[in-house]
Amino acid sequence: MLTQPRPIRLKGRSYLALTLTPELPFEDWLARLDDLASRSAGFFLRRPVVLDITGLEIDRAQLRTFVSQLGQRQVRIMGIEGASPALLGSDLPPAMADGRPTPDFEPPAAAEAVETVTVAEPVAPDLPKAVPSIIVTQPVRSGQSLVFLEGDVTVVGSVASGAEIVAGGSIHVYGTLRGRAMAGTMGNAAARIFCRKLEAELIAIDGYYKTAEDMGPEFRGKPVQIWLDGETFKVEALA
């Protein structure tokens, strides 16, 4: 007796992925990537990565070689953005498009003209919208990844080496920050990183990053706040 085969269910689902935007010449860019990887071990391990080659004047052979060189560095490319159809093939990751660095939003409707009157009711001022946030009351252990793209993350405890916090807003750590902290990941350059004790492997705000060796010894082990001024990191000790 034949049984009816069960249908295959296909579901749409979105995931957080890093986007690499290489620059020519590839050799120089790969050298900088090697420097980052050497100072933050395992940064790309088991992490989905999209390669954005928009505007790069390269041929298919160059792209194939470059993807292979990334694979040798344990950087697995899940898709390629900004590539013409002629550049891609079955031997390369698939094309990707419509990546959004920030959430979609609807622009406010234009204000309608109103007739002026001599007596008007008082209008309450617009209050600023509350920024979404989460509070984590347990330490973030090595190997754990805490992702909250909607707003701020507060950790009432420490972040271990090998752990990471990824936030769309600011990051607050009321303990020792030993792992990686990536704030403003949805295009928020005004995001900040606060911690009670700075021992981070890597910090990033709005895609700009610094590794432990780049942060300067004067702030190691100190309570600090970190923010961006243009493309420059600013670090200030907390009282």
- Give the model confidence (pLDDT) of 92-147 as tens digits: 998 887 655 544 333 334 333 333 333 344 444 554 556 688 999 999 998 888 88
Same domain, 143 and 231: yes
What total number of domains does the chain contain? 2
Confidence grade of residue 239 (pLDDT, cut at 50, 70, 90): confident
Has residue 191 been placed in a domain? yes
pLDDT given at position 15 = 67
Q: Please report the pLDDT score of residue 52 as a whole number.
A: 92
Structural domain includes residue 70: yes
37: which DSSP letter? H
Residues 179 and 91 in one domain: no
In a domain, 104, yes or no: no
pLDDT tens figures, 4-40: 666 766 666 666 778 888 999 999 999 988 887 776 6
Question: CATH no. for residue 189?
Answer: 2.160.20.70
Task: For residue 13, tell me if it sits in a domain.
Answer: no
Q: If you average pLDDT over residues 193-199, what whole number do you get?
A: 96
Give the mean model confidence (pLDDT) for residues 53-64: 92
Any domain includes 105: no
* 49 lies in some domain: yes
Kindly state whether residues 88 and 158 are assigned to the same domain: no
Residue 218 vs residues 15, 145, 181, 193, 222: alpha-carbon distances, Å: 37, 28, 19, 17, 8
The predicted pLDDT at position 149 comes to 84
**Residue 169, C-beta contacts closer than 8 angstroms, at least 6 positions apart:** 131, 132, 133, 150, 151, 152, 153, 183, 184, 188, 191
| Mean of per-residue pLDDT scores for the chain | 81
Domain hosting 84: range is 18-96
